[in-house]
Chains A and B, each alone.
Chain A
């Protein structure tokens, strides 16, 4: 019973914005949306998280729809080093529900 669904893979041209979608249609009011990424053969890396407001940090922006049933992670200017698997996660308290991730390939 997946809490999140993501496309399996995506391509993005270097220098362009990468928009990674995530559906979490069964999310509850007290559950957060988190994004992590994992570059091949390395440990995961926290990117950003939010509850209902859009969030931005030095790495990315997180856009959450008003009904909270989906969100989009935006990497504003993708570089080759952003090639990784991106995980969208729903968190309720101490429970983290991971999706299977989107493999993003940034193309030169």
Chain B
């Protein structure tokens, strides 16, 4: 039963510290998404990768956030320096795009990293 895994599941840190969140997509999936969820804003898309290349990160605050895929089995989201307003649940999702043969796009979410910045 393949799943997206995310680490850590919970993180508490102090303002100004660097935070790194990791995601292992499902083997064979070539698209990776990073989302952020808060009570106030709901679910927001931060960044989107395909074949390890960033296709869109316009939803991500550029001054402190960065997203990378060093290899096909690892995606990272970093916040430096972190601020209290970054407190949220961060979800990673992986999937396959809609295929030329009409196969449907898929997207599977990980359990999320719950971040609290004090």
Chain A contacts to B: CB under 8 angstroms: 36, 38, 42-46, 49, 57, 87, 93-96, 98-101
Known contacts A36-B43, A44-B91, A101-B42, then 11 further A-B pairs from the complex at CB < 8 Å, ordered by chain A residue: A43-B91, A44-B109, A45-B109, A46-B95, A46-B106, A46-B107, A94-B55, A96-B45, A98-B42, A99-B42, A100-B42
Q: How far is the CB of B51 from chain A (nearest CB, A)?
A: 13
- Measured between beta carbons, the chain A residues less than 8 angstroms from B43 are 36, 38, 44, 87, 98, 101
Instruction: Name which residue of chain A comes closest to B58, CB basis.
Output: A95
Q: Which residues of A contact B107 (CB under 8 A)?
A: 46
Chain B residue numbers with a CB within 8 Å of A99 are 42
**Residue in A closest to B108 when the chains form the complex, CB atoms:** A46
Please name the residue on chain B nearest to A95 by beta carbon: B56
B44 at the interface (CB under 8 A from A): yes
| Cβ–Cβ contact A49 & B111, under 8 A | no
Interface residues on B, range: 20 to 34
Q: Is the contact region of chain B dominated by helix, strand, or loop, or is it mixed?
A: strand
The complex places the Cα of A63 from the Cα of B95 at a distance, in Å, of 24
Residues of chain B whose beta carbon lies under 8 Å from any beta carbon of chain A: 35, 42-45, 48, 55-56, 58, 91, 93, 95, 104-112
Distance in angstroms between the alpha carbons of A7 and B95 in the assembled complex: 29
Distance in angstroms from B116 CB to nearest chain A CB is 16
What is the distance, in angstroms, from B48's C-beta to the closest C-beta of chain A?
5
> Which among A38, A46, A57, A101 has the highest number of chain B CB atoms within 10 Å?
A46
Given contacts A42-B111, A43-B110, contact A98 B44 (CB under 8 A): yes
Min CB–CB distance A65 → chain B (angstroms): 22
| Residue in chain A with minimal CB distance to B44 | A98
Does B56 contact A94, Cβ atoms closer than 8 Å?
yes
Known: A98-B42, A98-B45. A49 touches B105 (CB 8 A): yes
> Which chain A residue has the least Cβ–Cβ distance from B4?
A43
